[in-house]
Amino acid sequence: MMRVSVVRGIAALAVIAATTATAGVAAAEPSDSKPTSPSKSAPATAPLPSRVVTKTQVTGQEMLLEVYSAAMGRTIPLTVLRPKDDARPAPVLYLLNGAGGGEDSASWKVKTAYKKFFADKHVNVVTPVGGAFSYYTDWQRDDPHLGRNKWQTFLTEEVPPLVDDALNSTGANAIAGISMAGTSVFNLAIAAPDLYRSVASYSGCARTSDPLGQAYIRTVIGDRGHGDVTNMWGPLNGPGWRKNDPYLHADKLRGVKVYMTSGSGLPGRYDTLTSRLIDGDPAMLMDQVLMGGAIEAVVNSCTQQMRAQLAKNNVDTTVITRPTGSHSWGYWEQDLYKTWPMIAKDLAAAKKPGEDRAAG
């Protein structure tokens, strides 16, 4: 059954490039319209140090931090959800969006009720707005269309100390992401082994150097983002791709709790006309069931492969495999809610080496 699903998924990937998704799939893999964002241009040099430029209270427990990245030479907005008791230090959950980077309407803020969910949780939830089609990695070269991307440096080196100071954090961190970012979270944790206590990948694919993984990445970056994938990690099948393949470096995730979720691709509870994000639109439903189902079947195969690899390398891993479900927001929202109690325990545990403050 899995082999049939994977074959269907591979065939669907060829179709995805010519398909303009507008619904469930569009939630993670936006349409060809270019997001309007300052992140598409970057100066040749970045003489100023990384720093918090502005700190603005938006509404209630939501805050906006604007952080200047010396690595990318531009200012990146960070949406922050603060705990009710913000006088007491709290840990940080870095929650990443999918292929659109939150520059479009496909974001945790727009597609889910995550603000309500975290309102009574003692945690700072930090989400960068930017990084569309970047895989949140450090690109080898600037791209004519996607600009300068040094997201690994930004997220693992520049942002954490600034966030810790601005939010008075405990020094305990976790990171989670969907779809494209479900790949990125593994590489970010490998690049900064002492930074995160746990990593959650919701419908992500950890395989980046095998043919299927590369086909998926070409669809996201090339067909949808109009970028050149060789500007990211160099020539396909080259050392840059192997270096950034979490499957090949699973042993480096020892000491980090890993959570992975995926569905079979078969229609499920959020793939109906009455689903909240479908709103009775037959075309939207068809897109989510067909394209979203095919993508999730491929992702599920990738997830099971990574599961075996992590077990082989004695990495503490929890995998939630749904018998149904497409590549869409209804499932990712529930995946976040289901894994949060486990992540919260990781963040509240006794401090790890290198953490400045005990978890509160």
Span 274-288, pLDDT tens digits? 999 998 999 999 999
Q: Is the pLDDT of residue 214 over 70?
A: yes
pTM: 0.87
pLDDT at residue 156 tops 70: yes
Whether residue 333 contacts residue 237, with contact meaning beta carbons closer than 8 Å, is answered with no
**Banded pLDDT at 33 (limits 50, 70, 90):** very low
Instruction: Give me the half-sphere count of Cα atoms (radius 13 Å) on the Cβ side of residue 192.
Output: 23
Between CA 37 and CA 45 the distance in angstroms is 19
CA distance 192 to 81: 24
Q: What is the pLDDT of residue 205?
A: 94
On the question of pLDDT at 339 being above 50, the answer is: yes
Nearest to 284 by CA among 25, 2, 11, 6: 25
Using an 8 Å Cβ cutoff, are 7 and 295 in contact? no
Average pLDDT, the chain: 88
Amino acid 85: pLDDT: 95
User: What are the pLDDT digits (tens) for 265-314?
Assistant: 999 999 999 999 998 999 999 999 999 999 999 999 999 999 999 999 99
Pick the closest to residue 246 from 321, 193, 294 (CA basis). Answer: 193
Strand partners, 239: none
- Are the C-beta atoms of 311 and 214 separated by less than 8 Å? no
| Distance set, CA 84 to CA 62, 151, 345, 354 (Å) | 10, 30, 19, 27
Please state, in angstroms and rounded to a whole number, the distance separating the CA atoms of residues 46 and 73. Answer: 5
Average pLDDT over residues 316-321: 98
Dump pLDDT digits (tens) for 128-146. 999 999 999 999 999 999 9
Q: Is the pLDDT of residue 344 over 70?
A: yes
pLDDT value of residue 212: 87
Cα 188 to Cα 96, 132, 324: the distances in Å are 12, 16, 29
Give the pLDDT confidence of 68-85 residue by residue, as tens digits: 999 999 999 999 999 999
pLDDT at 236 over 70: yes
